[in-house]
Chains A and B, each alone.
Chain A
Amino acid sequence: MKQLLSLLLVLSMVLTMGAAFAEDDTTFTVACVRWTEVWGTDFTETAFLKEISEKTGVTIEWQPYWNGNWGDQKSLMLATGLSAMPDAFFGSISLTDADIVPNTDFFVELTDLIPQYMPNLSAIFEKDPEMKALCQDADGKIWSLPKKLPMRPITANEMYINKVWLDELSLPMPTTYTELADTLEAFSKSGEGRYGYIAASSLQFDLNNLLLPFGVQVSRAGNMMGMDAEGKPVFVPMTENYKAAVAWARDLYERGALDPEYFTQTSDMVRAKVQDTEAGPRTGIVFAWTADAELLGNAKDYVVAEAVAGPDGNRYVESDPTFLNYGKNEFVITKNCKNPGKLLEWADQFYTDEASLQTYYGSIGDGKIAKNEDGTYEVLLPDAESGINLDTSCWTFSFRDHGPKYMNQEFESKVILPTTEGDGIKLADDAVNAQYARPTFPVVAYTPDELDQIGFLSPEVLSYVNQQYAHWVTEGGVDEEWDAYIDQLNKMGVNDLVQIHLDAYARYIGE
Chain B
Amino acid sequence: MSEMTIRNRNNHIRKSRADRIFDFIIYGVAALLTLLALYPMYFILIASISDPNLVAKGDVLLFPRNMSLDGYAYLLSMDNLWGGYGNTILYTLAGTAIMLVVNIPVAYSLSRKDLAGRGFFTFFFLFPMFFGGGLIPTFIILNNTFHMVDTFWVMVLPFSVISYYIVVARTFFQTSLPAELWDAAQIDGCGNLRYFFQVVLPLSKAILAVIALWAAVGHWNSYFNAMIYLRTPARFPLQLVMRNILINNEMAATAMTGSAAAELNRKANLIKYGAIVVSSLPIMTMYPFVQKYFNQGVMIGALKG
Residues in chain A within 8 A of chain B (CB atoms)? 35-38, 41, 63-69, 72-73, 76, 79-80, 83-84, 156, 267-269, 271-273, 275-276, 289-290, 292-294, 296, 388-392, 394-395, 421-422, 426
Contacts and interface: CB of A to CB of B under 8 A. Distances in A.
Given A37-B233, A76-B139, A79-B136, A389 B57 contact: no
Interface string B219-231: 0000000011001
A67 B262 contact: no
B149 A38 contact: no
A346 B139 CA distance: 32
A422 B259 contact: yes
Contacts of A63: 231
A268 B267 contact: no
B75 to A, nearest CB: 12
| Majority secondary structure, A binding face | helix
Nearest to B266: A296
Contacts of A66: 244, 248
Contacts of B80: 37
A66 B231 CA distance: 10
B36 interface: no
A421 B259 contact: yes
B258 interface: yes
Contacts of B258: 289-290, 293, 391, 422, 426
B57 A273 contact: yes
B259 A293 contact: yes
A389 B260 contact: yes
A269 B259 contact: no
B124 to A, nearest CB: 27
A84 B139 contact: yes
Contacts of B52: 272
A47 B136 CA distance: 39
Interface in B41-87: 52-58, 80
A37 B244 contact: yes
B250 to A, nearest CB: 8
Contact of A69 (B227, B253, B266): B227
Contacts of A272: 52-57
Contact of A294 (B241, B262, B263, B269): B262
B88 interface: no
Interface in B116-148: 135-136, 139-140, 143-144
Interface of B: 52-58, 80, 135-136, 139-140, 143-144, 149, 227-228, 231, 233, 241, 243-245, 247-249, 251-267, 269
Given A392-B259, A421-B259, A84 B143 contact: yes
B166 to A, nearest CB: 28
Nearest to B249: A36
9 contacts: A35-B248, A35-B251, A37-B244, A76-B139, A79-B140, A268-B269, A272-B55, A292-B262, A389-B263
A68 B136 contact: no
Nearest to A81: B140
Contact of A388 (B139, B231, B257, B263): B263
A80 B144 CA distance: 9
B241 A37 contact: yes
Contact of A38 (B58, B251, B267, B269): B267
B252 A292 contact: no
B244 to A, nearest CB: 4
A119 to B, nearest CB: 33
Given A68-B251, A72-B228, A392 B143 contact: no
Contacts of B231: 63, 65
A35 B241 contact: no
A36 B264 CA distance: 8
Given A38-B264, A294-B262, A391-B259, A268 B56 contact: yes
B249 A38 contact: yes
B181 to A, nearest CB: 49
Nearest to A266: B56
Nearest to A426: B258
Contacts of B262: 292-294, 296
A422 to B, nearest CB: 6
A76 B57 contact: no
Contacts of A296: 262, 266
- Pick the most buried of A275, A388, A394: most chain B CB atoms within 10 A of its CB: A275
A68 B244 contact: yes
Contacts of B149: 84
Contacts of A273: 57
Contacts of A35: 248, 251-252, 255-256, 264
Contacts of B56: 268-269, 271-272
A68 B240 CA distance: 11
B60 to A, nearest CB: 11
A119 B254 CA distance: 37
Contacts of B58: 269
A156 B149 CA distance: 42
A390 B255 CA distance: 19
B261 A293 contact: yes
B259 A37 contact: no
A267 B244 contact: no
A267 B254 contact: yes
Contacts of B245: 36-38
A399 to B, nearest CB: 13
Nearest to B243: A68
A422 B257 CA distance: 10
Nearest to A291: B259
Contacts of B144: 80, 83
A289 B227 contact: no
Contacts of A68: 243-244, 247-248, 251
Given A69-B244, A292-B259, A80 B249 contact: no
Given A38-B248, A67-B255, A292-B262, 13 more contacts: A35-B256, A36-B245, A38-B264, A67-B248, A69-B244, A79-B136, A80-B136, A271-B53, A272-B56, A389-B259, A391-B259, A391-B260, A395-B260
B143 A80 contact: yes
A426 B140 CA distance: 47
